[in-house]
Structure 1
Amino acid sequence: MAFVEHNAKTASTSAGGRVEDYVALLKPRVMSLVVFTAFVGMLVAPGDIHPFIGFVAILCIAVGAGASGALNMWYDADIDAIMSRTLNRPIPSGRVSRDDALGFGLTLSAFSVGTLGLVTNWLAAGLLAFTIFFYVVIYTMWLKRSTPQNIVIGGAAGAFPPMIGWAAVTGTVSMDALILFMIIFLWTPPHFWALALYKKGDYEAAGIPMLPNVAGERATQNQIVIYTVLLTITGFGPVLTGLVGWFYAIPAAVLGAIFSVLAVRVRMASGVEMKRRARVLFAYSLSYLFVLFVALLADVGLIRWFGTV
């Protein structure tokens, strides 16, 4: 406890910080996933966008995601100082003050939303603003510390980027954009609950009501299987709407089958073996989303270049 109080005091009084500390506030690994899914959403959307405008739009989405990360770290500095995987973040380690992180996050939020609205359209900017608000206020300030469904509802924040990319090109939100949203929305619970299964002690120490800590490991394992099945089914949505063809459908089927098998393997295990399998599932879930969206992008490209595939 003394260690935590020391870090909290240091974080509240330190100023400045190195460039790399401010980069860390942006959560660059999370940002990379946001940028990638937004980029795919932009490229698969019907219509054209000038390359420079597209680049600025992606930059704005990245900056908005980074702003969300900085504001999340500003608010969560107290629990970050407790959990092993977040202990060395810039604020709890004392390298950046909470006030500096707050100002940094608010400035980037205003810049990203305003610039995106000016260079593309205000629907895309409005979606970006709502995404930042949802992640910081609805998820970080409210859901994360109050309900074991925090990841389910809060997962919407991470599901908006492809929709924002789509809106930047078309100025609209279509059924295809909503399906891309739903794929990431349904992917989020099994992804994070797998992490929560083998990091249960961290969440318990920080007082965060993650599902394994509140409902137990067995209930979490069951929910992982349910959401994985729903994700696998939803993954075929772009095929049903005609956005893509078999070039996407085959990888989607294989990826979903592997995801489902790994989820069931987690469900059938317990103790140390369950945690090992949960770690494998967590790692695979990252590859799943990346490969699925690559297949989506490749299929749409083939359709536009060569006709129906």
Structure 2
Amino acid sequence: MKLRVVELLIITTLPAMVLAEKGLPSFGLVAATLVGGTLAAGASNAFNMVIEADTDKLMVRTSKRPIVTGAISRKHATLFATAISILSLAIFAIFTTALATLLTALAIFYYVVIYTILLKPNTSQNIVWGGAAGCMPVLIGWAAVTGSLTWVPVAFFMVVFFWTPPHFWALAIKYKDDYSAAGIPMLPSVSSQSSVIGQMWFHTIAMVISSTAMIQLAELPVWVLCTTVLLGAVFTFQLFALKENSDNYNKVAAGIFHWSITYLSLLSILLVVAQLLSA
């Protein structure tokens, strides 16, 4: 289920729910949404492992995954992924809203079919458009509370959308040889360092702009906007150290990857605290 990856999705679900409620939603609704979301994301990841079992064998980073090692068969992994997909949708249908359930089904389909099967093996922009699946928890969390969507969750969606490429490319820089060996056209493995750095800059700046738009649409206090800009400034500062052909290129990229996780976590905490203080 790649639960360590799922953690990042959960991090954005809760603040979306708090913003939608303009306070704390009921414990039952939060629990159902987080459990259902965890199962949906875990199912998507499990389907991903089934589909990519052959290419996973070619990559050092993925060569110990359970299907590759034979600990779990493809058949059993598929049954498992299908079962928890159904359970996830049942939880959303029973305890949340029809829109949240529909968005969850769409997220699973998008990650498995659009990203894993169509985009990932065929384009270096795979994580850009495929990353939209990882933004869905924001919309799902909001829809679970209200049964509808507004511009606030859309802006939050765009924050995560633009955050995803620099976050993932920073990691892919370290494993670019792995992706080359598996024939997966991840941007750092098929493009020049200058191109990778340029695209990371574009998405980071767009992420900061989207973050400020989200704060304003959510009508949060000015201090929240200032803090958000400060977090974005720290993120961009990290990129200044990423220079092509430098001896510490991989090390700097690894630092950006870890900071990106911190950034999203701090932003999510900030949104929750700010909304609760404003309630």
Name the CA shift for 1:271/1:203 in 2 (closer, same or farther; >3 Å).
farther
Tell me which residue corresponds to 1:244.
220
Tell me which residue corresponds to 1:174.
150
Tell me which residue corresponds to 1:63.
39
Structure 1 residue 57 displacement after superposition: 2.1
TM-score (structure 2 length as normaliser): 0.96
Aligned mate of 1:143, from 102, 119, 132 = 119
Q: Are the aligned partners of 2:216 and 2:225 in contact in 1 as well (CA < 8 Å)?
A: no
Q: Which residue identity does 1:215 align to in structure 2?
A: S
User: What is the alpha-carbon distance in structure 1 between the residues aligned to residue 247 and residue 133 of structure 2?
Assistant: 32
Structure 1 residue 96 displacement after superposition: 0.7
Q: Does 1:89 align with 2:65?
A: yes
User: What is the alpha-carbon distance in structure 2 between the residues aligned to residue 235 and residue 148 of structure 1?
Assistant: 26
Tell me which residue corresponds to 2:263.
288
Deviations 1:150-193 (A, max 9, x none): 00000100001021011000000110010111110000010111
User: What is the alpha-carbon distance in structure 2 between the residues aligned to residue 229 and residue 294 of structure 1?
Assistant: 21
Aligned mate of 1:108, from 84, 87, 102 = 84
Tell me which residue corresponds to 1:17.
none
Q: Are the aligned partners of 1:238 and 1:244 in contact in 2 as well (CA < 8 Å)?
A: no
Alignment of 1:222-233 (within 5 A): 222-233=198-209
Aligned mate of 1:279, from 254, 260, 263 = 254
User: What is the alpha-carbon distance in structure 2 between the residues aligned to residue 272 and residue 200 of structure 1?
Assistant: 16
The higher radius of gyration belongs to 1
User: What is the alpha-carbon distance in structure 1 between the residues aligned to residue 218 and residue 158 of structure 2?
Assistant: 17
Aligned mate of 2:96, from 120, 125, 145 = 120
User: What is the alpha-carbon distance in structure 2 between the residues aligned to residue 97 and residue 136 of structure 1?
Assistant: 18
Deviations 1:69-116 (A, max 9, x none): 111111111111121111111111111111111111011111111220
Q: Does 1:129 align with 2:105?
A: yes
User: Residue 66 of structure 2 aligns to a residue in which SS?
Assistant: coil
User: What is the alpha-carbon distance in structure 1 between the residues aligned to residue 234 and residue 25 of structure 2?
Assistant: 36
Structure 2 residue runs without a partner (length 5+): none
Deviations 1:190-245 (A, max 9, x none): 01111122211111011100112222222111101111111111111122214322
Q: Are the aligned partners of 1:176 and 1:243 in contact in 2 as well (CA < 8 Å)?
A: no
Q: Are the aligned partners of 1:186 and 1:231 in contact in 2 as well (CA < 8 Å)?
A: yes
Q: Does 1:298 align with 2:276?
A: no
Q: Are the aligned partners of 1:31 and 1:65 in contact in 2 as well (CA < 8 Å)?
A: yes
User: Residue 146 of structure 1 aligns to a residue in which SS?
Assistant: coil
Structure 1 residue 40 displacement after superposition: 1.6
Structure 1 residue 271 displacement after superposition: 4.4
TM-score (structure 1 length as normaliser): 0.87
User: What is the alpha-carbon distance in structure 2 between the residues aligned to residue 204 and residue 236 of structure 1?
Assistant: 37
User: What is the alpha-carbon distance in structure 2 between the residues aligned to residue 149 and residue 179 of structure 1?
Assistant: 21
What is the percentage of aligned positions where both structures have the same residue?
Answer: 37
Structure 1 residue runs without a partner (length 5+): 1-25, 305-309
Greater RCO, CA 8 A, separation 6+: 2
Q: Which residue identity does 1:216 align to in structure 2?
A: S
Q: Are the aligned partners of 2:156 and 2:210 in contact in 1 as well (CA < 8 Å)?
A: no
Q: Are the aligned partners of 1:27 and 1:69 in contact in 2 as well (CA < 8 Å)?
A: yes
Q: Are the aligned partners of 1:151 and 1:192 in contact in 2 as well (CA < 8 Å)?
A: yes
